Structure 1
Amino acid sequence: MGKTALKICGIRSLEEIQALKDLPIDYFGCIFAPKSPRCVSVDLAKEITDVAHSVGKRTVGVFVNASLEQIMDTIRLTGIDVVQLHGAESAAFCETLKPLAVQLWKVFPVWDKLPMMEEYLPYIAFPLLDTKGAAEGGNGLAFNWQLLKGLVPYSFILAGGVSTANVQEALQYKPAIIDVNSKVEQGNRKSRSLIEKLIEEIHKHNK
């Protein structure tokens, strides 16, 4: 059985990643969507990425309907390892990004049925399934995970409302990566203790 990896999204300061870098977290997410309260500058994202790389971790840049030029400039200036598209980007747009030396993830909003993803699959490393909501980014809510039963094990990323309370249920559907943000925060900052509890639950599954 494959092991589920962990992404902590919405890192917004050097202090946050310094406090978390020693934990078994596989990916740290930097958000570049201007409307997000967790949006970071390119300069800060480079500093976060440098810290992540110094301990063998990877960083994910989250974009919402950004231009190709904007994404390419951000990759060049920050050294991020993954581009996550969280907007209405087309499969053709994903195709233009495929030659870049980064992994590509595409977010698909879900509520009561799985979205149509087939035309994107040749160009992306993973589809990321997140709860459909009012916000452009994550909404902190879980969709009906029963819908995941039809997916191939370990071929998708699961986001949206995953917490220490329900991560064991989420892991039953065998996501390749669990993506968390607000559910591991206290006072709008990442909580090391909540993340440690989440990691403990994931490790129970990964044994």
Structure 2
Amino acid sequence: MAGLPVDYIGIVFAPSKRRVEPEAAAAMLSEAFGAPAAEDTAEKGSPAAASERTRPKIAGVFVDPALPELRRTLEIVKLDVVQLHGAETPEYCREVRETFGVQVFKALSVKSDAALQQHAALVREEAARRAEEAASAYAGAVDALLVDTYDPLHGGGSGRTFNWELIPLYKKSAAAHGLPLFVAGGLTPDNAGELVRDYAPGGVDVSSGVETDGHKDIAKIISFVERVAIS
């Protein structure tokens, strides 16, 4: 990963086959970046401080975590972002932000109702309503919104795309409330460039799309980053 123009690295702490225990995450980050433990501090101007400024931000992915769970994780792993994929309320997101001093990204699930696909106007109208309600509710409580394909089990990570034609509706509502919009859901090196070129989201989030046999594939990661960077 060293040298790749990546802004964030995500670590999954939510129930998932990709779940990582906090101790293992801290060890991996230390090996990759020389990152200090969450309780350590780096003096200004020191090599550790320089590393903190240049490394990607670390995002922890959670689904409906209890505050004690978050506290324990953050005591072990130095996270910059808490990314929430459950039914977390704006009040909860604000509490996480204020209590732990981290950025909070809130994921919104986008359903693809096959029964309504023949009624595009109705789909867009409903999506516009949901987008505005979400952006209005979470404004001031989170640092970014993320749209992902609806997954009834884990709140995301399904590896499936949703109807990208709805992205501008979410992007418009997010921007109106001062929030960037990230996009996830079924992204791969083959389609990421198209997404960025056609919809210009504030960022993209990928996981299964850069895996081979359930493991991260560095060649696919490099290809994905290159496709996004040149689009």
Taking structure 1 as the reference length, what is the TM-score of the superposition? 0.82
DSSP 3-state at the match of 1:194: helix
C-alpha distance in 2 between matches for 1:66 and 1:29? 16
Which of the pair has more CA radius of gyration? 2
| 1:22 and 2:3 correspond | yes
> Is residue 63–residue 86 contact of structure 1 (8 Å, CA) maintained in 2?
yes
1:38 aligns with 2:18: yes
Q: Is the 8 A contact 1:127 1:156 kept in 2?
A: yes
Is 1:109 the counterpart of 2:109? The answer is yes
Give the SS at the match of 1:143. Answer: coil
Residue aligned with 1:157, SS: strand
- TM-fit CA distance, 1:157: 0.8
Count of residue pairs the alignment pairs up: 185
Assess if the C-alpha contact under 8 Å between 1:49 and 1:79 holds in 2.
no
Does 2:136 match 1:124? no
CA distance in 1, matches of 2:7, 2:27: 17
Aligned residue in 1 for 2:46? none
1:202 positional shift: 1.3
Deviation per residue, 1:154-195 (Å, 9 max, x gap): 811100011112112211211111100001100111111111
Aligned to 2:219, the other structure's residue is in SS state helix
- The match for 1:17 is none
Q: Take 1:98 and 1:80, find their aligned partners in 2: how far apart are those partners?
A: 12
Q: Secondary structure at the match of 1:98?
A: helix
Q: Deviations over 1:112-156 (max 9, x none)?
A: 435331211211111110000233131111111111123246811
Higher strand share: 1
Name the residue aligned to 1:202: 228
Write the letter of the residue equivalent to 2:12.
I
User: CA shift at 1:95, angstroms?
Assistant: 1.6
Aligned counterparts, 1:1-207, within 5 A: 20-33=1-14, 35-50=15-30, 51-52=32-33, 53=35, 54=51, 56-99=55-98, 100-112=100-112, 113=127, 115=130, 116-117=133-134, 118-136=136-154, 137-150=156-169, 151-152=171-172, 155-171=180-196, 172-205=198-231
- 5+ residue gaps, structure 2, are 36-50, 113-126
Aligned CA RMSD, in angstroms, stands at 1.8
More helix by share: 2
Greater RCO, 1 or 2 (C-alpha within 8 Å, sep 6+): 1
Offset, 1:111: 2.1
Look up the equivalent residue of 1:22 and give its one-letter code.
G
Between 113-122 and 65-74, report the one with greater CA deviation: 113-122
Q: Give the TM-score of the pair, scaled to structure 2.
A: 0.74
Give me the whole-angstrom Cα distance separating, in 2, the residues matched to 1:176 and 1:156.
5
How far did 1:47 drift? 1.9
